[in-house]
Amino acid sequence: MRLLKVLCCGVACVIVFILATSLTIRLLLRDQSTVVCPDVTGLDVEDARRLVERKGLSLLIAKYEKEKDVPYNRVLVQTPDAALSVRKGRTVAVVLSDGPQPAHIPAFVGLSLEEAQAAMHEQGIGLKKVLYVARGAQGMVLAQAPGSGENILDEDGMVLIVGGREKRFYVMPDIVTGDYAGLVRDMEAKHLNYVTVPVAGPQGTARDVALSASIPPGTIFTSDDVLQLQMKGGT
């Protein structure tokens, strides 16, 4: 019997707690002096200020923190958190980024690489790297990073993606001497760039050809590399 009374008292307490909580929430929702705190993270400080003031709140800049990937004066953290019910007139404290100033970056896509470089030079924008891909019009800018508009510019400059012909890769064979005419035919069949370098030596009945030591046997090279063919002798 005593246990039953204890259980009844426990259930009654739970019911009273639920009813009290529900009543409190309803009163808060009906109370026009409370508002839902807006989410200002990621906004510029002035945009954040206007947003909280429209809610009847005020904004306080608590401090700045160094963030190289977040533009200057953007909100990193806010207190109280977004979506909480707060009383009107409360102060929303924010932590702002002490990062770089965003730059207005023009669109270079569709320009030739030379035109893009000239435009970048005029506006004082550095070029970090040019990446070639085997598609699109050769020598034309296909993409850029960062994109156009208000963006953070890397300290080293921009990256341009440019169309180009497909590169072929080869492994340098272990050729020391060989038939000059045959070797040249092989070079031209593979569309390789080469130059002939005469080397002093005894005259003979055939041309002996040796590959330059600048690209040793077993080295991977591309069709853009220039091979040096050392030629000695020949009639």
Kindly give the confidence (pLDDT) of every residue in the chain, 235 residues in length, as a single tens digit, with 9 standing for 90 and above: 665 555 556 556 666 566 666 656 665 555 568 999 999 999 999 999 999 999 999 999 999 999 888 889 999 999 999 999 999 999 999 999 998 888 889 999 999 999 999 999 998 888 999 998 877 788 899 999 988 887 877 777 899 999 986 667 777 776 655 566 777 777 777 777 777 777 665 554 445 555 555 677 778 877 777 777 776 654 4
Q: What is the rounded distance in angstroms from the CA atom of residue 73 to the CA atom of residue 151? A: 14
Whether pTM exceeds 0.85:
no
Residues 91, 144: contact at Cβ < 8 Å?
no
166-175: burial string, b at 16+ Cβ within 10 Å, e else: eeeeeeeeee
- Domain check: are 183 and 195 in the same one? yes
- Domain check: are 157 and 177 in the same one? no
β-pair partners for 44: 74
Residue 114 lies in a domain: yes
- Domain check: are 78 and 112 in the same one? no
Residue 81: CATH number of its domain: 3.30.10.20
- Half-sphere exposure in the Cβ direction for 114 (13 Å, CA): 2
